[in-house]
Amino acid sequence: MAVRPKSFFLAGIILAYCCPASAQGPDLPINTCNDYLKLAMSSTPIIGVPNSQTFEVSGNPAWKGPGRIPTSGGNGMKMVLPGKSSWLPSCNANGSYVMLQKRVNGDLFCVRPENGEVAFEIKSKPASGEYACACPVQNFQAWRAIVRGAIIPECDEATGLYKPQQWYRDSGSNPNQVCMTSDGTITTKRTERFRFGAGTCTAGGVFVPK
Ligand SMILES: *[C@@H]1O[C@H](CO)[C@@H](O)[C@H](O)[C@H]1NC(C)=O
């Protein structure tokens, strides 16, 4: 693929922030949900292949080889193989993935919206069938690209919601305290080091000083 001048800026960003040096091959293609769903519902046999440089997904994922779709990519990315009897992806209109996904057998899991990569397998199936995937997905992505000052959120195991008390590491690598609501909205950011105890974050992200 020829590198056009417009691509340089993007390439710079990707090199600086995207992928650790250990990355092998390109990431999973993005915004493929509608195409994969169409394929899963058709009678085309679907075969999972690694996302290699030679595999192209261009609008129609069957374009290069009927039913061949990438299920693994750089950085150890993995997605579930779509299929009538295994997984019919749940899609947004723009081709991105709904974060909460359900296998045909009823199992629930969370994916990254852009590429359908499995971010979290939900072990204790909630009776409601509802699960908040934003926190598990953010946690998964934050671990992949650890950035100083970024919050690696802790999530409630049963609901997926953000825990009220969170931490981030400052430039001196000290853990600092953050309070947030269950949907991840930051309410209080403390600069006192948590380990020495500034206070506690309670439900709704309310900070209660000691
Ligand atoms: C695609 O649609 C979803 C749901 O409406 C939205 O949250 C997301 O931001 C959209 N993505 C892009 C790249 O526009």
Question: Mutation test of ligand 1: which of 30, 32, 33, 94 has the most ligand atoms closer than 8 Å to its C-beta?
Answer: 94
> Which of ligand 1's atoms lies nearest the C-alpha of 93?
2
How much is the pLDDT for 140? Answer: 95
206-209 and 199-202: which strand pairing? antiparallel
How much is the pLDDT for 22? Answer: 46
How much is the pLDDT for 104? Answer: 96
Answer for the pair 136, 120: CB distance below 8 angstroms, yes or no.
yes
Give the residue, by CA position, lying nearest to ligand 1 atom 12.
Answer: 94
* CA dist 148 → 63, 84, 88, 95, 119 (Å): 41, 42, 37, 31, 21
- Edge-first strand order for the sheet with 47-50 is 47-50, 68-73, 77-78
Residue carrying structure tokens 């709704």: 204
How much is the pLDDT for 197? Answer: 60
How much is the pLDDT for 53? Answer: 58
Q: Which residues line ligand 1 (CB under 6 A)?
A: 92, 94, 96
pTM of the full structure: 0.81
Question: Mutation test of ligand 1: which of 92, 115, 133 has the most ligand atoms closer than 8 Å to its C-beta?
Answer: 92
How much is the pLDDT for 51? Answer: 85
Three-state secondary-structure class, residue 24: coil
Give the residue, by CA position, lying nearest to ligand 1 atom 1.
Answer: 94
HEC letters along 44-109: CCCEEEECCCCCCCECECCCCCCCEEEEEEHHHEECCCCECCCECCCECCCCCECCEEECCCCCEE
How much is the pLDDT for 43? Answer: 83
68-73 and 47-50: which strand pairing? parallel
How much is the pLDDT for 15? Answer: 38
Ligand 1 geometric centre to CA of 83 (Å): 24
Answer for the pair 153, 141: CB distance below 8 angstroms, yes or no.
no
Give the residue, by CA position, lying nearest to ligand 1 atom 14.
Answer: 94
How much is the pLDDT for 3? Answer: 34
Ligand 1 geometric centre to CA of 84 (Å): 25
**What are 151's strand-pairing partners?**
168
Give the residue, by CA position, lying nearest to ligand 1 atom 8.
Answer: 96
Question: Each residue of 130-172: pLDDT tens digit?
Answer: 999 999 999 999 988 877 778 899 999 999 999 999 988 877 7
Three-state secondary-structure class, residue 127: coil
Residue numbers in the chain where pLDDT is lower than 50 = 1-22, 57-60, 62
Ligand 1 geometric centre to CA of 95 (Å): 8
> Which of ligand 1's atoms lies nearest the C-alpha of 94?
1
Tokens of 87: 């997984």
Tokens of 175: 């853990």
